[in-house]
Amino acid sequence: MLRLLSLLLLFSLIRPTHAQKVSSQKLKELHVPMVAQQWVYEPGQVEFVTDKIGPVMKILKGAGNVMLKDINFSNGTIEFDIELKGTGFPGINFRMSSDHKNGENFYLRSFGKVTPDVRTTLQYAPIINGMSMWDLTDEYQAGATIYQNGWNHVKLVISGKQMKAYVNDMSKPALIVPELESTETAGNLSLSGLVNYANLLIKPDATEGLSPEAGYASIYNDTRYLRNWMVSAPVVFPVGKELMLGLFSTYGKVGGSELPDSTTQWSPVKAESRGIINLSRLYSHKDKEARLLAWLKTTIQSDKAQERILNLGFSDEVWVFINGQVLYVDKNYFGTAQQKAPRGRCTIENAAIKLPLKEGKNEIMIGLANYFYGWGIIARLDDTEGIQVAK
């Protein structure tokens, strides 16, 4: 028996070591090598050099995401150094699904010198059905001190549904995300942007006491939000096409109507914790579907005839009806004169609409068209006295 134990010990000492897979569930701390063998990328997109900070991965212009091999990250701390080299949106994807269509994204906006007061410097956005939800997540932006020359240090603490992001100042988070919104709980990790990366460190399960449960949503107690709707299946709606409303003129009806009718099929949809109806989760664009149109409807019961204000956020176009009559038509095209504050994103600040309610039941119906990133609405009344909304 003693001889057998000695042989086993000798074997354990002399057996060859193999390349270890990067499994965030098994390692206490992983210093990721900035070497070509550790990453997946297209030829000519990445260079690996040694700088005074140590080994560096330089992502070149035109490169996509550079994926870390053999990673399955779930919870913990991710740290890295980043040196800005050009304009763009450098950052990190984590918990990415194997098809790269769902996961989480944290990034910087690199377009010149900023101060901590510029709240669009940092952004968290979930990736849903292959699309970034940056335009539906205005709340998940923040300012930070960013060095245009030299290295910046980033630390992400990720625990279940929550994340804290630190940039340069490690004493307090620059961005707090109370609820990560992707459906993925573990997955791949990748880096992107016209930048240099160094000192990538992964600490699995090192969550610094951050709760894995979703944090408090500030609108949780607010009964003014319209959270329960019915939605139709989308139809292809070519760019430039206007919605036919079946209008009447002196000479009779002008054109047909493309409004829902008795044959339209409806399905229930509920607002998410931030009050948003996110159709991107239900309907993703397919090839040759540059623009889609879907319909939403809900009811408001009023104990008297009254006028209320409907605050409405939308992406990208709406046709609002009350009791079958057109009330409001507008566009929120990012980067155009028609974009709504703030900067074409979908927020409750986009529009304030006078809502004439009759006594009894009122139907609110909204046509929603989308061609650009995420699509959805967020709706809130100014007051609910004498009003019951759909539950």
Among residues 86, 94, 95, 29, which one has the least CA distance to residue 58?
A: 86
Residue 249 has pLDDT above 80, yes or no: no
Nearest to 215 by CA among 186, 187, 175: 175
In this prediction, residues 330-342 reach a mean pLDDT of 93
- Rounded Cα distance between 80 and 156, Å, is 9
Asked, as a colleague might, if the bond just before 342 is cis with ω within 30 of 0, I would say yes
Q: Which amino acid is at 184?
A: E
Flag whether pLDDT at 50 surpasses 90. yes
Q: 197: which 2 tokens?
A: 């990366």
Question: Which residue pairs, CB below 8 angstroms and at least 24 apart, start in 253-260?
Answer: 259/321, 259/365, 259/367, 260/232, 260/295, 260/297, 260/365
Copy the structure tokens of residue 82. Answer: 């980043």
Q: How far apart are CA 104 and CA 95, in angstroms?
A: 6
Q: What is the pLDDT of residue 288?
A: 78
The answer, yes or no, to whether residue 2 has pLDDT greater than 50, is: no
- Mean pLDDT (whole number) for 367-387: 96
**Tokens representing residue 195 in the block:** 């930048």
What per-residue confidence (pLDDT) applies to 317?
96
Indicate the pLDDT class of residue 59, thresholds 50, 70 and 90: very high
- Asked whether residue 5 carries a pLDDT value surpassing 60, the answer given is no
pLDDT at 16: 34
Residue type, 336: T
The type of residue at 106 is F
Could you tell me the pLDDT band of residue 20, with boundaries at 50, 70 and 90?
very low
Q: Is 102 exposed, middle or buried (0-12, 13-18, 19+ CB in 10 A)?
A: buried
**3-state helix vs strand vs coil in the chain, percent to 5:** 5, 45, 50
Domain boundaries, the chain: 20-204, 228-389
8 Å CB contact between 379 and 318:
no
pLDDT value of residue 3: 41
Beta strands in 187-251 (DSSP E): 188-192, 195-204, 228-232, 235-236, 245-249
Top-confidence residue, 35 or 6: 35
Contact 285, 279 (CB under 8 A): no
- Taking the CA atoms of 193, 31, 179 and 152 in sequence, report the sign of the dihedral they define: negative
Query: Coil, helix or strand for 204?
Result: strand
The three-point CA angle 357-296-286 to 5° equals: 160
User: What is the DSSP track for 302-369?
Assistant: ESS-EEEEEEEEEESEEEEEETTEEEEEEE--TTSTTPPTTTT---TTSEEEEEEEPSEEEEEEEEEE
Confidence of residue 14 (pLDDT cuts 50, 70, 90): very low
Q: What pLDDT score was predicted for residue 109?
A: 96
11 pLDDT higher than 80: no
Alpha carbon distance 227, 278 (integer Å)? 11
Q: What angle do CA 68, 72, 78 make, to 5 degrees?
A: 70
CA dihedral 188, 193, 197, 202 (to 10 degrees): -20
For 350-367, what is the mean pLDDT? 98
pLDDT at 250: 61
Is-same-fold flag (20-204; 228-389)? yes
d(C-alpha 105, C-alpha 93), whole Å: 4
Which class in CATH covers the domain with range 228-389?
mainly beta
Per-residue pLDDT tens digits for 120-154: 999 999 999 999 999 999 999 999 999 999 999 99
Average pLDDT over residues 274-295: 92
Residue 232 has a pLDDT of 98
The tokens for 282 are 């239900």
Q: DSSP state, 49?
A: E
Return d(Cα 48, Cα 245) in angstroms, integer.
59
Share of the chain above pLDDT 70, in %: 90
What single-letter amino acid sits at 305?
A
Sign, Cα dihedral of 93, 95, 98, 102: negative
The pLDDT value given to residue 248:
62
pLDDT at 10 over 70: no
What's the pLDDT at 255?
63
314/214 Cα distance (integer angstroms): 25
Give the C-alpha separation, 279 to 370, whole Å: 10
- Domain covering 20-204: architecture: Sandwich (2.60)
Residue 252 sits at φ, ψ, to 5 deg, of: 110, -170
Q: What pTM was computed for the model?
A: 0.89
* Confidence label for 253 from pLDDT (cuts 50, 70 and 90): low
